[in-house]
Chain A
């Protein structure tokens, strides 16, 4: 019984992490209709920035996290303004080729700069180990992830639903032409959203070094996970991807624990079945965009 709860807890932490990693992609892929397979590269960038700051320069872990966000967002906005912008109107095939190219470049570049082995971020002692809560083993680090990611999710939902920027974004997504007719600077809104999504991925990358493992092949290894979150979750709100991440996280952890031999099998099958059953995602809109 307690092992079930511990697994559930780990699964939730994993899922929350996936959500932070992937929700930027939910915006680009789901809302802006741009297939960005290089999303994991931004996450990796954030993770490596955090690693360098903490391990090499002796920054405290919690001070390095915001910087991981900022650096990934900065890379994101530079690439968006210079490269991505030209590809919004292109076919999906072009976008796929372009972002695969970027992914390959990022993998090789990080391999060149930091070496190909897995890196670890030195965690403060307060985050290590686990404690028992009514007999359920709770990892401190995972608890922190749940807290941070949970707060982020609530904040995101509030921003989207309550603020002026949120309503502009929703308007730009629903009908870009009408939105720009109303005086909303649609490209600017998209650029900002893209950068913010990249920043979140960077933060996720920094947080995930401990759990998912951080090496130069990160973007390729987890690409499929991000895509699953977005395609299964759909794009109508952030609730969809959020639920999809939790489902995926819990499913993956439980799958690895209870049927270790089937490995990643469970989630790939799940993804294919869901895509066939509901091509627009479990929580997606019914009409194709």
Chain B
């Protein structure tokens, strides 16, 4: 057996759907029917999960550190809001795609700035871009509504058939379908040869370049794709809450996103989804204890996670699900912890 067919075999085995994954999505779907009073918070979690998945694509797979991912979220949110407000694109699904494309264009344009330089420069540049956009949105308040945000957005029925209801049921299932479809696509992408080449770049860009991977082009491609995802997440935010305000660009949003991914773990796509659930639950718990100062506890969680060591914690998060699967299916862990972490 040659080396290349061996790699292919291994990659194919990795790419196959596991029982655990099917179970995960069934549980998510079941939640939609089990907690009919909690649609709003669950929609919020789905949005955050999609946003985190977007960051995971560049951080977990390509190793690009970003402190300004909210830039794309914000562009998506405002794009969707403006499209709906001015009645340019009334149909939500279409508007969602257009908003995602708007973020994608920005992602493509800024990717050239981001691929240059090392981690620190990337951090600064991404942060700078998000701040720049926030300043822009504040400056052109006649378009964006300034600090008041976009108000009076009225969403048309999804696909012209399903109207948004006040309990958020339609919003929830709409978000869930979007998340699932985009997840399928992301899963396909990361298990493709393209995705494997990204991992090679993350582990050692120099060596990746030496075996003929066009490093910069791959990074631009994945950054652009991640921007599309973040834009869609932002658009979902506007469509399901019917508001878009300046805080979509806020630094806190990008920082929280980092925390979500750190809790869930990077580099296996489910990290963002699991992290989003845990993060929102933590936030709920903290804000019931101290309504005004929950940020303190969020900060403490971050500090503790880093001190304990992300890898160790990561294994712990996956320990229980893997144990269950091992007991039931009688085989080794399905959701493996990636070997190297940035």
Contacts and interface: CB of A to CB of B under 8 A. Distances in A.
Given A104-B296, A288-B118, A224 B131 contact: yes
Query: For chain A, which range describes its interface: under 10, 10 to 19, 20 to 34, or 35 or more residues?
Result: 35 or more
Interface in A232-289: 261-265, 268-269, 271-272, 275-276, 279, 288
Contacts, number: 125
Given A231-B124, A288-B118, A220 B295 contact: no
A160 interface: no
A108 B299 contact: yes
A80 B292 CA distance: 29
A7 interface: no
Interface stretch (A91-99, A132-140, A164-172): A91-99
B257 to A, nearest CB: 11
A156 interface: no
Contact of B303 (A90, A96, A102, A269): A102
A56 interface: no
A137 B298 CA distance: 47
Interface string B74-85: 000000000000
Contacts of A269: 132
Interface in A101-138: 101-109, 111-112
Contacts of B293: 108-109, 111-112
Nearest to A112: B293
B67 interface: yes
24 contacts: A29-B120, A83-B303, A86-B307, A92-B119, A93-B65, A94-B310, A97-B305, A97-B306, A98-B303, A98-B307, A100-B299, A101-B298, A101-B301, A104-B295, A104-B296, A105-B295, A107-B295, A111-B293, A220-B251, A224-B128, A231-B120, A263-B138, A275-B125, A288-B118
A269 B117 CA distance: 17
Interface of B: 59, 65, 67, 113, 116-121, 123-125, 127-129, 131-132, 135-136, 138-139, 251-252, 255, 258-259, 262, 292-296, 298-303, 305-307, 310, 341-342
A271 B124 contact: yes
A262 B136 CA distance: 8
Contacts of B302: 97-98, 100-101, 104
Given A96-B258, A275-B121, A264 B135 contact: yes
A225 to B, nearest CB: 11
Contacts of A104: 255, 295-296, 298-299, 302
A29, A83, A92, A272 — most chain B CB neighbours (10 Å): A272
A201 interface: no
A97 B258 CA distance: 7
Nearest to A223: B251
A189 to B, nearest CB: 22
A5 interface: no
Contacts of B296: 104-105, 107-109, 112
Contacts of A231: 120-121, 124
B117 A105 contact: no
B120 A272 contact: no
Contacts of A83: 303, 307
Contacts of B113: 272, 276
Contacts of A261: 139
A13 to B, nearest CB: 24
Contacts of B116: 276, 279
Contact of A272 (B65, B129, B292, B305): B129
A129 to B, nearest CB: 32
Nearest to A29: B120
A288 B121 CA distance: 11
A263 B139 contact: yes
Contacts of B252: 220
Contacts of A105: 295-296, 299-300, 303
Contact of B117 (A111, A224, A271, A279): A279
A209 interface: no
Nearest to A271: B128
Contacts of A148: none
A86 B118 CA distance: 22
Contacts of B301: 101
B124 A268 contact: no
A270 to B, nearest CB: 10
B135 A268 contact: yes
Interface in A68-101: 83, 86-87, 90-94, 96-98, 100-101
A101 B135 contact: no
Interface string A187-229: 0000000000000000000000000000000001001100100
Given A91-B342, A108-B295, A261-B139, A275 B306 contact: no
Contacts of B118: 279, 288
Nearest to B301: A101
Contact of B124 (A103, A220, A275, A288): A275
B255 A100 contact: yes
A5 B194 CA distance: 58
A224 B124 CA distance: 8
Given A92-B119, A93-B65, A97-B302, 8 more contacts: A90-B306, A91-B342, A92-B120, A93-B119, A97-B306, A104-B255, A272-B113, A275-B121
